[in-house]
Structure 1
Amino acid sequence: MQRYFIDPGQFGDETVSISGEDARHISKVMRSKPKDKLIVSDGASREALVEIVEILPQQVSARIVEQLEGSGEPRVHVTIAQSLPKGDKMEIIIQKCTEIGAASFLPFLSERTVVQYDQKKEEKRTARWRKIAKEAAEQAHRSKIPAVVPPVSWKSLLAELPEHDLVCVCYEKEHGLQLRDVLKPFAEKMQSQNHGGAPRVLIAIGPEGGFTEHEIGQLEAAGAVSVGLGRRILRTETAGMAALTCIMYESGEMGER
């Protein structure tokens, strides 16, 4: 069943109003008709099964059939901190990691970042990233849209690390400690401490050329743990997806335990 995110103000007591691109998608792409059913969410606290009442060119009105309890969010809050990659790789990372279960994205600049940072273009690019996250969240039946912020500096990334319960840096030269070695004891620790709220994990991924040894040292000094992802070298756009999948599996998100 098709799912759409709407602003909280579009929710009424008994009806909802869907406008803009979503209304056009319902009428022109899906060719929906009155009495067809949809799922709508405000991305926070309300989610409902609704039945279309009226379809206009710029607005769709529907009545609430049933209030739903959102169940599409993981039990662990994972932030993908990604050094800006070349081309459209960031779009792929956001799309696929949203489907897998990432809660937020933190693009950043590092020593080997190749992309030329243009602040004038950032607003437009960030808006596109957020649109991709929204569409991927709808497709994956998420209850919330992952947060996507504009690229931050290296200094800002380091300042963000203490806000998380676990920070892992995926480093291709790490041949000792592996991600699995860190995730199992972390999951056990969170369970034994009866952690209030979703545990917060940050996964840091370097650019195409990887992190420098100096950067790894700074990350570890700020509380991060350097981990490997096995014996194979992964591309920058693959590493985050692989690490996130491991976290989802280890936390029970790939099937109830």
Structure 2
Amino acid sequence: MQRYFVEKEDVQENRMTIYGDDARHMTKVMRMKAGDSIQCIVDGRTATCEITDFTNESVRVHVVEWIEETNELPIRVTIASGLPKGDKLEYIVQKGTELGAAAFLPFSAARSIVKWDEKKGKKKVERLEKIAKEAAEQSYRNLIPHITNPISFKQLLEKSSNYDMCIVAYEEDAKNGESKALKRVFEQLNPGQKLLVVFGPEGGLAEEEISQLEASKFVRCSLGSRILRTETAPLYVLSAVSYNFELSR
């Protein structure tokens, strides 16, 4: 069943109105008609709805029943990525959303080749938000991950105080055989808490950045004995969180 996120202000009692790209997708792509069923997500709650009628710019539905479901990770994971090249951040957001990330926090690292100005950054974030929304619908998420505008490394350190635990994936620890730090972090986390995970860009994080992260109470972790690409490492951590807090319990 197709799922669509609906803004709270577009809900009136047991009726909802869907606008914009979603309405066009329903009419032009899915060829839906009155009487068809869809699922709508409002503020994290899911409802099975039936289409009642169409206008030129919208689709109206009424709620058949509200569904009690929770498809979110027990731990709220924010992925902080040093700005990578090309479309790698789009890949991280798409697949990271499917795997349950709560938010994405791009930052400018010392070895980031890509630089976003304010105008370019706004368009990029709008594109990333669209990717996250579509991935959240496809993967039956209850929430769309939040995506921030790119911040500086200094701002990243300042924001870290808002999280229960903070870790940084460090390839040198993987080369040296470290294998227990991530497990120890998981053992200290409880459902509902927030975890910030920092990943460097293609060239990794500079030693000075690692030192500053450690001084800000970040825990250095390896992600196994293999060295992962900047777009692969976040997916490893999200999968590990899912296994540890969902599948193994």
1:187 Cα deviation (Å)?
Answer: 3.9
Q: Give yes or no for contact 1:39–1:50 (8 Å, CA) kept in 2.
A: yes
Given residue 88 of structure 1, which amino acid in structure 2 is its aligned partner? Answer: D
User: Which residue number corresponds to residue 20 of structure 2?
Assistant: 20
The residue type paired with residue 38 of structure 2 is L
Question: In angstroms, what is the RMSD of aligned CA positions?
Answer: 1.4
Aligned residue for 2:172, secondary structure, equals coil
Q: Residues 101-122 of structure 1: CA distance to partner in whole angstroms, max 9, x if unpaired?
A: 0000000001000002222211
Q: TM-score, normalised by structure 1?
A: 0.92
Residue 141 of structure 1 corresponds to 140
Distance 1:138 1:256 in 2: 26
- The one-letter amino acid paired with 1:213 is E
Deviations 1:223-249 (A, max 9, x none): 101111111111101111111111121
Q: Within 2, Cα distance between the matches of 1:186 and 1:232?
A: 20
Paired with 2:97 and 2:248, the residues of 1 have a C-alpha distance of 20
* Correspondence list, 1:122-133, <5 A: 122-133=121-132
In 2: Cα distance, 1:235 partner to 1:186 partner = 22
Alignment of 1:7-156 (within 5 A): 7-42=7-42, 44-156=43-155
> Does the 8 Å contact 1:102/1:146 carry over to 2?
yes
Q: Could you report, residue by residue, the CA deviation over 1:17-62 in whole angstroms, capped at 9, with x for unpaired residues?
A: 11111000000111111111000012x2532110001123311011
| Aligned twin of 1:164 | 163
Greater CA deviation, 44-53 or 130-139?
44-53
The whole-number CA distance in structure 2 between the counterparts of 1:220 and 1:35 is 57
Task: Using the TM superposition, give the Cα deviation of residue 183 of structure 1 relative to its aligned residue in structure 2, in angstroms.
Answer: 4.2
Q: Which runs of 5+ in 2 are unaligned?
A: none
In structure 2, the residue matched to 1:194 is none
Question: What's the TM-score once normalised by structure 2's chain length?
Answer: 0.95
Change (3 A) 1:129 1:58: same
Could you say what secondary structure the match of 1:236 adopts? coil
* Conserved 8 A contact 1:15-1:64: yes
SS, match of residue 62 in structure 1: strand
Secondary structure of residue in 1 paired with 2:232 = helix
* Equivalent residues of 2:16, 2:62 under 8 A apart: yes
Equivalenced residues, count: 247
Does the aligned pair in 1 maintain the 2:41–2:142 contact within 8 Å?
A: yes
Letter in 1 for 2:6: I
Q: Give the AA of the match of 1:122.
A: G
Q: 2: distance between equivalents of 1:231 and 1:187?
A: 19
Match of 2:210 in 1: 216
| 1:98 to partner: Cα distance | 0.3
SS of the residue corresponding to residue 250 of structure 1 reads: helix
Structure 2 distance, partners of 1:213, 1:148, is 27
Matched residue, 2:227: 233
Runs of 4+ residues deviating >4 angstroms = none
Separation in 1, partners of 2:93, 2:182:
22
Summarize the Cα distance change of 1:207–1:186 in structure 2 as closer, same or farther, 3 Å threshold.
closer
Does the 8 A contact of 1:27 with 1:57 survive in 2? no
Structure 1: gaps (5+ residues): 192-196
Give yes or no for contact 2:79–2:198 (8 Å, CA) kept in 1: yes
User: Which of 32-41 and 51-60 deviates more?
Assistant: 51-60
Give the AA of the match of 1:86: K
User: Aligned residue for 1:246?
Assistant: 240
Residues in 2 aligned to 1:256 and 1:14: alpha-carbon distance in whole angstroms: 38
Cα distance, 1:177 vs structure 2: 3.5
Contact 1:24–1:57 (8 Å) recurs in 2: no
The 2-side partners of 1:59 and 1:256 are apart by 43
Taking only the aligned residue pairs, the percentage that are identical comes to 44
